[in-house]
Chain A
Amino acid sequence: MNRRTFLILAAGLLAGCSQSRNTLNFYNWANYIGETTIPDFERETGIRVNQDNFSSQDVLFAKLKIGLEGYDLVVATDYMVRRLIKHDLLMPLQGVQGLEGLIPRFQHKPWDPEHRFSVPYLWGTTGIAYNARYAVPKPDSLKVLWDPRYKKRIGMLNEKRDTIGATLLMLGLDGNSVRPDDLARAQAALLEQKPLVRRYSTDMIDDLVRQEFHVALGYSGDTGQAHSSLEDVQYTIPREGGYVWADNLCIPRDAPHYEAAIGFINYVLRPQVAASITDTVGYPNAVAKARALVRPELLDNPLGYAPESMLEHTIFQQDLGAGERLWDQVWEKVKLQS
């Protein structure tokens, strides 16, 4: 629930941040950093880190697009990296070390093949989070999110790319489609589902633990955090497929503290640091050598390092280009109508 609080406070807060040389303003998802990552970095470098949280990638885009200055380091999902590059909102990275040590799956991706602007931070999947006590039989299809048996116990992500995308996958369509027909079908399905939905939220750890949600479209690592508080919370990648994504560290075009941001990127690429972040948040990192250092239960586990067999039927989220507006229109309708 922190994300939304911060979103609302964020706008005002950042303006007040100190602009001294020894500062790093980090714009990140909530609950998305190791427990000691920031204090350790501060102690090592003397740089003060101000962390600020966004509630969705759209908010990140909006803030950077209007030219809000002050952020030095932001966390952008794959398709968003492409979009930010296209809008000329990022600064090329210079002096990043350790790129060759990344897991091949996240190296040289089409949105930024040479890692000129982005370095993968953490990765995960979008799939079905469920409470094994109530969701019987164990769900394996996205259709469970349209099952009236779970009326008002269904959670959906307040992130248009995941929620509309998963609906497309549920309908057997391309999860990155920009065909108006496909999107019209997705819109109809989402409107039909709406009376069953408890809440659209990107921050559902609490909702899963407190059993507000019995089935939900969720993120692997968040579900993992919920699972550590309540064992009944489980996760699976549905048979229609899911998304695999990486969140990437990027430096905005007008970042006032470029060197500090590069320093932080190099810091989190150290295997020990990457592993400790993963241990806290449950999301795997993209540093190959860190794999051997993380909590062993995160390995070969859909909540953490999903096994290859599961990743086989996942897809990446691509930049939609001009089709973005179509997705926006669907999203607007879905959120508005009841």
Chain B
Amino acid sequence: MKQRAAWLLILPMVLWLVAFYLLPLGAVTLQSFHEVTPDYDISREWSLANYRRAVNPDYGPVVLRSMRYAAATTLWCLLLGYPLAYFIALHGGRRKGFYLMLLMLPFWTSYLVRTYSWMTLLQTEGLLNTALFVPWLGHPVDMLATDGAVILGLTYGFLPFATLPIYVSLEKIDRRLLEASADLGSSPFQTLRNVVLPLSRPGILAASLLTFVPAMGDFVTPELLGGPETTTIGQAIQEQYLQLFNWPFGAALALLLMLLMLAGIALYVRLSGSEEVLA
């Protein structure tokens, strides 16, 4: 009886996953083994042509670039998010809830609108140039359409996703351990390094995954803040779907990206011994 109640509870979730995750994924997988006919229809024959084409040398640099962006974004998010989470968790006091709300505040506005405002800040005639660089250096600095702009945009977008899991893991730490560490003669830095950091490792690992994975597939940010030389794999896939009308090839690219990410995550979990994070 108990068993059946548990099944009923997860049933909606299972139905949801089947309808909106497994079925589309299955459709995409099937589609990736077809081709587009010269008439822009999808062929009935099965073929591996899309996969053969996807491993051509054009896509290597694009994937590497996307990885570079995702890695830099993850690093920046950790560097900025960790102190932020540390402050809220250990020094937030009664204002904790308020600080957390501030952290979530950006979500009240669309991501696109927020990214557009970065465009207006960074462009040649934008605020940063007119208020800072032109008076200071005498000429505007080109910021849009650079790697830096894309990484900045991604970091900005994913910072809350990195901060929250770190916050949760810091919050869980028993404060008496910190006191014990101090009593045993540790400096605050030693306490941070030997006690706080190891204990918050699950949060750091979760934050890394939550940042790296979506940053790797993102196409909106490089589309808006990037230029011709910042094409990411997400943009390449989107281009196949919408501009070139080659859904089967886009599907193959998307699936290969997914496999690559799964392999990467498996390796990461293995190496970092963080099975418990995902468990």
State A322–B126 Cα separation when bound (angstroms): 45
* B124 and A197 contacting across the interface, CB-CB below 8 Å: no
* B243 and A5 contacting across the interface, CB-CB below 8 Å: no
State A212–B223 Cα separation when bound (angstroms): 16
* B229 and A336 contacting across the interface, CB-CB below 8 Å: no
Q: A4-B224, A65-B40 are in contact. Are A210 and B124 (CB under 8 A)?
A: yes
Chain A residues, CB < 8 A from B124: 210-212
Report if A69 contacts B (CB, 8 A).
Answer: no
State A160–B224 Cα separation when bound (angstroms): 19
State A338–B224 Cα separation when bound (angstroms): 18
Chain A residues, CB < 8 A from B228: 194, 197-200, 335, 338
Interface centre among B38, B223, B244 (most CB of A within 10 A): B244
State A65–B247 Cα separation when bound (angstroms): 12
Nearest CB of A to B110, in Å:
8
Contacts of A5-19 to chain B: CB distance below 8 A: 5, 7-9
Nearest CB of B to A332, in Å:
6
Complex interface: stretch among B13-21, B58-66, B161-169, B259-267 = B58-66
* A65 and B231 contacting across the interface, CB-CB below 8 Å: no
Q: A1-B116, A322-B38 are in contact. Are A212 and B61 (CB under 8 A)?
A: no
Complex interface: stretch among A30-38, A55-63, A140-148, A271-279 = A55-63
Report if A333 contacts B (CB, 8 A).
Answer: yes
State A287–B144 Cα separation when bound (angstroms): 41
Q: Interface digits, A141-182 against B, CB 8 Å rule (1 contact, 0 not)?
A: 000000000001000000010000000000000000000000
Closest chain A residue, CB of each to CB of B142: A152
Binding site for B on A (CB under 8 A): 1, 4-5, 7-9, 56, 58-59, 61-62, 65-66, 87, 152, 160, 194-195, 197-200, 210-212, 322, 325, 328, 331-333, 335-338
Binding site for A on B (CB under 8 A): 38-40, 58-59, 61-62, 112, 116, 119, 123-126, 142, 144-145, 220, 223-224, 227-229, 231, 236, 239-247
Q: 7 smallest A-B Cβ distances: which pairs?
A: A338-B229, A58-B243, A210-B125, A197-B228, A62-B245, A328-B244, A336-B58
